[in-house]
Amino acid sequence: MSLTPARCLILACGNTLRRDDGVGPWLAAWAENRFRAEAQVRVLSRQQWTPELTEEIAYAGSVLFIDCSVDSAPGSVRLTSVQPATGDQGLATHHLGASELLALGRELYNSLPFHAQLLTIGAASTALGETFSTEVTAALPHACHLIEDTVLHELSRPELSQSA
């Protein structure tokens, strides 16, 4: 791997032209600014998650995925643990979920981050537009707080990555 593995990798997903779908990139920008001085934290924001991200994920100490959710109540913020997907399901090549990325990284590089979590923010609207709904706007402070707590907690752990 050409890059030094991140102690804590933040990987956001979303389209900034589809209202609340852009909350992932917004939070990534916030995290980038908040942890600017912290060399062990790397922040990536993508419109879609694709297989090219798997190497960086596989070798990271921990990964915090950030995405909006159309299945959750608008404005609800959830932080859940993510496990690698089982490999028998169909796989799109344009977009992978957090579980699929972990599984592909494990298969390719025989490595998994020690912790993988997914932070989601329930979307009220994914229509065309560059402004968040009132529900998502109201949820931003809580989401930022959770990201901060999670990253600081991960940085306080001994640096670990597990072989698959």
Partner 1 sequence: MSQTITIDPVTRLEGHGKITIQLNDQGEVENAHFHVTQVRGFEKFSEGRPFYEMPSLMARICGICPVSHLLASAKACEAIMSVRIPHTAAQLRRILNLAQMVQSHALSFFYLASPDLLLGMESDPKTRNIFGVVAAKPELGRAGVALRRFGQHTIELLANKRIHPGWVVPGGVTEPLAPAKRDEILAMLPEAHANLSMALAAYKQIAASFKPEAEVFANFPSNYLGMINEDEKIAFTDGKLRLIDPKGNILEDDITASRYTEVIGEAVEDYSYTKFVYYKPLGYPTGTYRVGPLARLNIVKSMGTQLADKELAEFKQLATGPVESSFYYHHARLVEMLYGLEKIEELLSDPLILDKHVRATAGVNRLEGAGVAEAPRGTLMHNYKVDEDGKIVWANLVIATGQNNTAMNEGVLQAAKHYVKDGKFTEGVLNRIEAVIRTFDPCLSCSTHAFGQMPLVLTLLSANREVVDQVIR
The site for partner 1 (CB under 8 A) is made up of 2, 46-48, 50-52, 54-55, 87-94, 103-104, 107-109
**Residue (50 or 72) nearer to partner 1, CB:** 50
- Beta carbon nearer to partner 1, 57 or 118: 57
Q: How far is the CB of 150 from partner 1 (least distance, A)?
A: 26
- Pairing outcome for strands 62-69 and 77-81: unpaired
DSSP 109-130: HSEEESEEEEEEEE-S--SSBS
User: Cα separations (Å) of 92 from 4, 109, 130?
Assistant: 28, 20, 27
How far is residue 6's CA from residue 42's CA, in Å, rounded to a whole number?
Answer: 6
Provide the token pair at 94.
Answer: 């344009």
Pick between residue 92 and residue 127 the one whose CB is nearest to partner 1.
92
- Beta carbon of residue 145, minimum distance to partner 1 (angstroms, whole number): 30
Q: Which is nearer to partner 1, 46 or 78 (CB)?
A: 46
Min separation Cβ 136 and partner 1, Å: 24
